[in-house]
C-alpha cells in the first residue's frame, strides 16, 4: 500500500477561527477528514502531522523515506517564505512533494509571494481554500500510481 504524509505547518491548528475572511471557516479536523476519506477511497495510507515548529517539520520530512512514505503533501504555512531548512529537507529526501496553500499566496502581501519550497516540489496548488489539499492529494495519487 502506498503511503503519504501530510504536514500542516504553523497556525493551521487555528483554522476555523483564524482570519476566516482569508482562510475560511473549515477547521483542520474537517480538512483532515476530507483527506482521510479520499485516501480510503484510493486505498492509500495517510499520516497527518500538524506542528508549529520548524524543526519538527524538517524531522518529519527527513524521516519520511525510512518510515515508508511514498510522497509528501505539505502546507508549510508561514515557513513557505522563510525556511531554507524545510526546502533543503524536501530536496534531500527526493520524494514527490506537493505544496499547498489555502489562499492564493501570489495575490497577498509581497512577502508572502515567494515560496522557498516550490522549486523542490513536484508542484504547488494554492487559492482553492480547503480544496487545495484535496487537489494536492489527487495530484500525488496520480504521481505515485504511475
Domains defined for the chain, CATH in brackets: 3-145 (3.40.50.9100)
pLDDT score of 25 more than 80: yes
Residue 53: predicted pLDDT: 98
Based on the residue annotation, tell me whether 101 is a catalytic residue of this protein: yes
From the list 8, 53, 79, 101, the catalytic residue is 101
Instruction: For residue 106, indicate whether it is catalytic.
Output: no
Per-residue pLDDT, 55: 98
Q: How confident is the model at residue 105 (pLDDT cuts 50, 70, 90)?
A: confident
129 pLDDT band, cuts 50/70/90, is very high
**Which listed residue (8, 23, 79, 133) is catalytic?**
23
pLDDT average, residue stretch 7-36: 89
**What number of other Cβ atoms are within 10 A of residue 40's Cβ?**
11
**Distances, alpha carbon 108 to alpha carbons 16, 22, 46, 111, 136, in Å:** 19, 10, 31, 8, 21
pLDDT of residue 73: 98
Q: Single out the residue of 12, 21, 24, 67 nearest to residue 45, CA to CA.
A: 67
What is the pLDDT confidence band of residue 14, given thresholds at 50, 70 and 90? confident
Residue for grid cell 497577498: 108
pLDDT, tens only, 55-70: 999 999 999 999 999 9
Quote the DSSP letter at residue 128. Answer: S
pTM of the model: 0.93
Burial class (CB in 10 A: 0-12, 13-18, 19+), 145: exposed
Q: Please tell me the predicted confidence (pLDDT) of residue 131.
A: 96
The H or E element that residue 101 is part of is strand 97-101
Q: What is the mean pLDDT of residues 118-126?
A: 96
More confident residue, 26 or 64: 64
61-101 confidence digits (pLDDT tens) = 999 999 999 999 999 999 999 899 999 999 999 999 999 99
Amino acid at each position: 500500500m502506498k503511503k503519504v504524509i501530510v504536514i500542516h505547518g504553523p497556525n493551521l491548528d487555528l483554522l476555523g477561527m483564524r482570519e476566516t475572511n482569508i482562510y475560511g471557516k473549515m477547521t483542520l479536523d474537517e480538512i483532515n477528514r476530507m483527506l482521510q476519506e479520499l485516501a480510503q477511497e484510493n486505498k492509500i495510507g495517510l499520516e497527518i502531522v500538524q506542528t508549529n515548529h520548524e524543526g519538527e517539520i524538517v524531522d518529519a520530512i527527513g524521516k519520511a523515506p525510512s518510515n515508508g512514505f511514498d510522497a509528501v503533501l505539505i502546507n508549510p504555512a508561514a515557513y513557505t517564505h522563510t525556511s531554507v531548512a524545510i526546502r533543503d529537507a524536501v530536496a534531500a529526501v527526493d520524494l514527490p512533494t506537493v505544496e499547498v496553500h489555502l489562499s492564493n499566496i501570489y495575490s497577498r502581501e509581497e512577502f508572502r509571494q515567494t515560496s522557498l519550497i516550490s522549486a523542490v516540489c513536484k508542484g504547488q496548488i494554492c487559492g482553492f481554500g480547503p480544496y487545495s489539499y484535496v487537489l494536492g492529494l489527487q495530484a500525488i495519487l496520480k504521481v505515485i500510481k504511475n
